Chain A
Amino acid sequence: MTSRLDPQPLEWLDRSETRSFEFEGQHYIGFAGDSISSALLASGQTLLGRSFKYHRPRGAVTLANHDVNALFQSSEEPNIRGDVTPLAAGMQLTACNVNGSLAKDRDQIIGKLSRFLPVGFYYKTFHKPKKFFPLWERLIREKAGLGRIDTGWSVRRKAKTYGFCDLLVIGAGASGMQAALSAAEQGLDVVLVDENPQIGGSLDYQLVNEASAAVVRARLKHDVQNHTNIRVLPGHLACGWYTDHYVPLLGPDGIIKMRARAVISATGVMEQPAVFRNNDLPGVMMASGAQRLVARYAVKPGQRAVVLTANSEGYRAALDMVKAGVDVSAVIDMGSLAERGVWADELNALKIPVLERHTVYEAQGKEQLKRVVVAPFDGDKCDSRDAREFDADLLLMSVGWAPAAQLLYQAGGRLAYDSTLEQLLPQELPNGIFACGRLNGAFTLEQRLADGERAGAEAAAFLKGEPLIPALAACRDTQAHSHPWPIVDHPKGKNFVDFDEDLQLKDLVNAAKEGFDNIELMKRFSTVGMGPSQGKHANMNGIRVLAAVTGRSIDQTGSTTARPMFHPVPVQALAGRRFRPERLTALHPWHLDNGAQMMEAGVWMRPEFYGRPEERAQAILREVQAVRTGLGLIDVSTLGKIEVMGPDAGKLLDGTYTMRMSNIKLGMTRYALMVDDSGVIVDDGIVGRIAEDRFYVTATTSHADATFRTLSRHIVEWGLDVRLVNRTGTLAAMNLAGPHARKLLKPLTDIDLSEDNFPYLGLQEGTLCGVPVRLIRVGFVGELGYEIHLPVDAALQVWNTLMEQGAEYGIRPFGVEAQRVLRLEKGHIIVGQDTDGLTNPFEANMPWAVPLKTKPWFTGKPSLALLKERCQRSLRGFMLPQGYSGELPKECHLLIDNGDIAGRITSIAYSPSLGRYIGLAMVDQPLASSERMFQVRVDSGALVPLEPCSTPFYDAEGVRQTVDLTEVA
């Protein structure tokens, strides 16, 4: 029976604040500072959970997040780790992964069937006959998993912050604190973190009754907390080590993304279980777990205890238990008393019997430990014929340690097995990574302090660039604190190596015998170490078992890869605040005020059309007609806009685009097509010449940033004297298009708009409505048109003036959809829609844009020279037959020719100007070159005929965009 003790000297509890909560429908009360587990244990509730596979009863084991026996569910969260989750008032908890209730878990039956479920059983069955597997699978999936998700849970996000320091010391126990002090004294900016809510480490639970430790504790805690060079962060978990000493720290308020210049791991050791039958019964604990329970939470772990030990720590734990009022029946020492020195005398003084060269053969009890069966042990095997029994409700295991070396492994450190300490120890550490304390084999308090001092000094020397002779092994202990084989076989099994996964000794032995005798294969076949505690209490024994089965050494056996996270990290903390940049043009408010339906275009928002959603088609039609017969105005501010300046500007553009740009006349523009090295079209736009050494480049909305990057890269790669200015965000742009465009602009600008001075494709600078602008004669939509580029802050004024003054010509704003129709009528492609990841300019019917003969070199030319001869498909125009009224083809429906795929539609739309459906299709040869009808397969599977035709569909001679028809008339 567990119960609350009187106040302990270093307890974490705030007894002035009680907290009531519910567990499995029962009411409990704990204190502020309790963990969920400690509060339950203080109230006598020792059954805390059920195991993953067999639903065995489980209690507290480590109290340190090295196991997940005590896993809880709330209405807010799954998989709550009771041992380390602070108790909050009003919590309503249930056990995790039970069928029914914790006390009456119907799935306990699975444990009874365990003999039929050998290691890897699911690989060997359920697959015959094949049709039954889905049924089995459903059954397995019902039993799988731990906590339950409520898919209605709302999103949670925690903000992240950034941190920087010279030295990050992880673990604020004796050696970590000393290391921090040693480095801080050298002037380093030190951050000291510990995952526990209070610093002190094992000083505060394992050495709590040690007089000598009291002085050290007081000094270290005082000094680290008062040193100006040290920031102490208790309650922060080092999630993992990432390249360049980047260690995210998970704290109660979210993650601090800590960038250190060097790291000391003082992460200590994790106590390992002994493997014997029923070693998972509630009441069987790590000795250190019981010590944590007493010292931190003032909980008496049991009434009557047996201590199984292979080191002096077990003796100390026995004494601690006595002090806490536990009746210690016996200490079972796997080794000999002679190794224990003074400890043996202290126990003797208390008349606690010690059985040397014995071990625990079996624990007994149903849902709680009742009896411990011990037997002689020769270091390898146990002689069960000489078994003796002890009544006990508490069995402490103190048989060995595994280093918490995950961060060292992640950093690329190497550990080797030390046969003196019977423990893995750091052997070789990368630059800037240091280790100290028990992790490094320093076990006595003196050794730990000296080792911390050493590591701190070494880190300081490293960071100052001073000569450094690492002395990693200088302060290590000379006697073992771990037993090399704390494992006992039992004919009835249930001797668990991995509590998370319910893996028994025979499971691992059998896995190895079946050929999974590589540590990684054993893990993957048996699942040892794959559970939520990621092998913290299981891997060391797993390695020992495999080494024994294969006759290899521990080092030859190796270990599995330690990957982040150290403990699982909440998604809400990793995700951080939501940041979705969205770019709005200067005219965005106007669009909204005027009924625009907005759409996403890359990171930008653009008007799709103006009008109510239900009259989409009519709205687009209206806009198209306005452009064709009167005037239209579209916001094209999202275009990439780049100034290219310098003596080599022409050279840069010549190399980047297919056509020659260096010979563009002043005040003129040219279509600019960009292909990649393999000749694939990636972007298009225009290049205009502003001055001898100055060009203005536009790029498509979605490719604008990539084009800027490409130009920047070329400048560096080709060693050119060019400066780029990305003006995409600082300049707005609008396209005024329609027969009356010139008439509208004329009175508003000082630029001479006459055909002679400002022909099609011309570029002029001047003012419009008093605002400095750059005007470009464009023809994308196929009408007389001016692209107006101007500072963003003047965009609204100019736009408004144009809309007001244009009223007499029937001006309308138009959106992306109308523009798509307009350009399609002109047969202009949209890169990325009419082209795909392999389309070259020949396929896109733009051989005129590839001057293979006249231009010596440009990006992609070598590829295009090859591709020219073997153009396997071609972009063709088509129309639906006059009067067609059947199912409409969609973009990306396939052309079918003789039953084979012969291409696809890339664009299709109703053309108000032609009164027919028109489109573009990428058509395979030989169909593309033939005059045959195309056939497209629509959703229903029917084949719809398409009439191939040449493009442009509308104004094939391009009269409308080059001539002011209103003047001609």
Chain B
Amino acid sequence: MPWRLLKYGLKSSHDEPRFFPESRPLKSHYDVVIIGGGGHGMACAYYLAKEHGITNVAVLEQGYIGGGNTGRNTTIVRSNYLTPEGVKFYDTSLKLFEDLSDDFDLNIFYSTRGHFTLAHTDSALRTMRWRAEVNKHHGIDSEVVDRDFIAKEVPYMDLDCAGHSPVMGALYHAPGAVARHDAVAWGYARGAYNRGVEIHQRTRVTGIRTQGDKVTGVETDRGFVSCNKVVSMVAGSTPRITSMLGLDTPIEIFPLQACVSEPVKPFMDTIVVSGSLHVYVSQSSRGEMVMGASVDPSVLHSTRSSFDFVEGLTDKMIDLFPFMSRMKVMRQWAGMSDITPDFAPIMGKTPIEGFYLDAGWGTWGFKATPVSGKTMAWTLANDRNHELIEPFRLSRFTDFDLVGEKGAASVGH
């Protein structure tokens, strides 16, 4: 039994400190206002305070901490991307993730599981090799494996896929991991709060004030606050914020859905993704199968669930795992993915002075939480883009300097 639990159990009163502050009034001025209290927003606040000593910061969240895509994703962390820019960025993130529990003194259940991306066609296999080669070049543990290897690691999977589109091989990424998504947001929030950052839940930003091309403050449903810098970290709500400034981005919003089964005794330790079948699955520490698919086919600003999603997902899933037909789907949900044409994020400065953007996270935002917080904090503190996010600048769409992560992002959560 860990010492901490023993100590706790022998005490009569519960005097654990608060993670987050109670609701309190807004100040009239902050150095930095962060719109969005999800993982990214909280991470940015945390690193601003911790690494740059900037603590006169308010995080404004219209709902509750981590209630957007932070709490809706399927918690996979990996760095086996296709482009050198992507690989470097996500690898930095993965390394930060590995130390987060220590950093927070909060267990985020970061669990290295191994991540299989199955190839059912020779063209998919070619893309896997490309990714593996790029990954290896950058020192990422990533390789193309054959059916025998997969059969050994995931013996209960039907590699013949019930006779259609059999698995030919896979991209195997040993460091692929899952983490408790909520805890990541909470850890960052607690760390930021303890360093003096203000967190305001149920506070909706209704407008952004500018003078000339310079930000002067934000309007909220609780009144106006002036500030020097505003960063928007709101994923699916990005168009609502950027439209306040008349700022154009090529982001489009597609719902991304997921579901969980009833809990069963853990039997699956790996993460399995099939791009061809558009499904992925891992098993949580509660025993639920956490399952997802690709984004919905059309643009929609909504978190509604659709029946087609669970039908399609389960149909394909039991080709790979026939026994799962005896399980039950317990709950489904959706998030809003902000997707860019090249499947890479938009980060950093914008044409409006004092307004920074962290958006376009599509289906891959969770795994970037630490690195995006860290690099955005650096960018805010230094008022220039951190080198890791330079390829993700907004102007790349007008400069035609796209990143091209499409091959690695589709259903690769």
Contacts and interface: CB of A to CB of B under 8 A. Distances in A.
Interface of A: 52, 76-79, 97, 113, 115-118, 121-128, 130, 133-134, 136-137, 140-142, 144-157, 160, 239-240, 242-243, 246, 248, 257, 410, 506, 509-510, 513-518, 520-521, 524-525, 527, 530, 532, 534, 561, 563-565, 568-572, 574-576, 578, 580, 582, 600, 678, 832-833, 836-838, 863, 866-867, 870, 890-894, 896, 901, 904, 937
Question: A interface, by DSSP: helix, strand, loop or mixed?
Answer: loop
Interface in B47-101: 63-67, 71, 84, 99, 101
B328 interface: yes
Contact of B16 (A125, A154, A242, A514): A514
Given A150-B323, A154-B323, A576-B315, 5 more contacts: A151-B323, A515-B20, A565-B330, A571-B325, A580-B164
B193 to A, nearest CB: 9
A122 B107 contact: yes
Contact of B1 (A116, A118, A155, A901): A116
Given A521-B65, A564-B331, A863-B400, A571 B324 contact: yes
Given A133-B101, A838-B402, A867-B400, A520 B21 contact: no
Nearest to A679: B400
Contacts of B262: 78-79, 146-147, 532, 568
A146 to B, nearest CB: 5
Interface stretch (B213-221, B264-272, B385-393): B264-272
A240 B305 contact: yes
B376 interface: no
A147 B127 contact: no
A156 B326 contact: yes
Contacts of B322: 153-155
Contacts of A149: 264-265, 267, 323-324, 326-327
Contacts of B311: 160, 574-576
Contacts of B319: 578
Contacts of A867: 400
B165 interface: yes
A78 B315 contact: no
B340 to A, nearest CB: 11
Contact of A145 (B22, B105, B265, B323): B265
29 contacts: A115-B9, A122-B109, A128-B101, A133-B101, A133-B110, A134-B111, A140-B285, A146-B263, A148-B264, A149-B323, A151-B155, A156-B326, A240-B305, A243-B306, A514-B19, A515-B21, A521-B66, A527-B286, A563-B333, A564-B332, A568-B329, A570-B325, A574-B310, A574-B311, A575-B314, A582-B164, A600-B165, A870-B400, A894-B137
B32 to A, nearest CB: 22
Nearest to B138: A901
Contacts of A510: 14, 16
B310 A833 contact: no
Contacts of A97: 265
A578 B165 contact: no
A137 B326 contact: no
Contact of A515 (B18, B123, B305, B306): B18
Interface stretch (B128-136, B228-236, B346-354, B360-368): B128-136
Contact of A534 (B321, B331, B400): B331
Interface in B146-171: 155-156, 162, 164-165
B383 interface: no
A295 B64 CA distance: 45
A575 B315 contact: yes
A125 B14 contact: no
B41 to A, nearest CB: 15
B129 to A, nearest CB: 4
B29 interface: no
Contacts of B265: 97, 144-149
B107 A571 contact: no
Nearest to A116: B9
A891 B129 contact: yes
Interface in B384-413: 400, 402, 404, 406-407
A829 B307 CA distance: 41
Contacts of A248: 307
A152 B324 CA distance: 10
The 10 closest A-B pairs by CB, nearest first: A145-B287, A116-B9, A151-B156, A155-B322, A568-B328, A153-B323, A127-B101, A145-B265, A892-B130, A127-B107
Contact of B267 (A133, A151, A521, A836): A151
A832 B123 contact: yes
B341 interface: yes
Contacts of A600: 121, 165
Contacts of B106: 123-124, 127
Contacts, number: 282
Contacts of B18: 513-515
A160 B400 CA distance: 48
B10 to A, nearest CB: 8
A257 B183 CA distance: 38
B332 A565 contact: yes
A580 B164 CA distance: 8
A521 B64 contact: yes
Contacts of A410: 305
A79 B262 CA distance: 8
B8 to A, nearest CB: 6
Nearest to B189: A515
Contacts of B24: none
B163 to A, nearest CB: 9
A115 B22 CA distance: 27
A561 B304 CA distance: 11
A572 B261 CA distance: 12
A832 B6 CA distance: 60
A77 B286 CA distance: 19
Contacts of B20: 515
Interface string B260-298: 011111110000000000000000011100000000000
B285 A524 contact: no
A140 B107 CA distance: 13
B394 to A, nearest CB: 16
Nearest to B3: A125
A130 B318 contact: no
Given A76-B326, A78-B327, A144 B133 contact: no
Contacts of A257: 307
A189 B405 CA distance: 51
Interface in B242-264: 261-264
Nearest to B120: A600
B285 A565 contact: no
Contacts of A239: 307
A837 B14 CA distance: 56
A506 B14 contact: yes
Contacts of B261: 568, 571
Which of B1, B21, B319, B329 has the most chain A CB within a 10 Å cutoff? B329
Contacts of B141: none
A893 B5 contact: no
A160 B17 CA distance: 52
Contact of B329 (A133, A137, A142, A565): A565
A78 B134 contact: no
Nearest to B65: A521
A52 B29 CA distance: 49
B328 A79 contact: yes
Contacts of B407: 836-837
Nearest to B397: A678
Contacts of B14: 118, 506, 509-510, 513
Nearest to B324: A571
A510 B106 CA distance: 17
B27 interface: no
A575 B325 contact: yes
A890 B129 contact: yes
A520 B67 contact: yes
Contacts of B127: 892
A709 to B, nearest CB: 12
Contacts of B67: 520
Contacts of A122: 107, 109
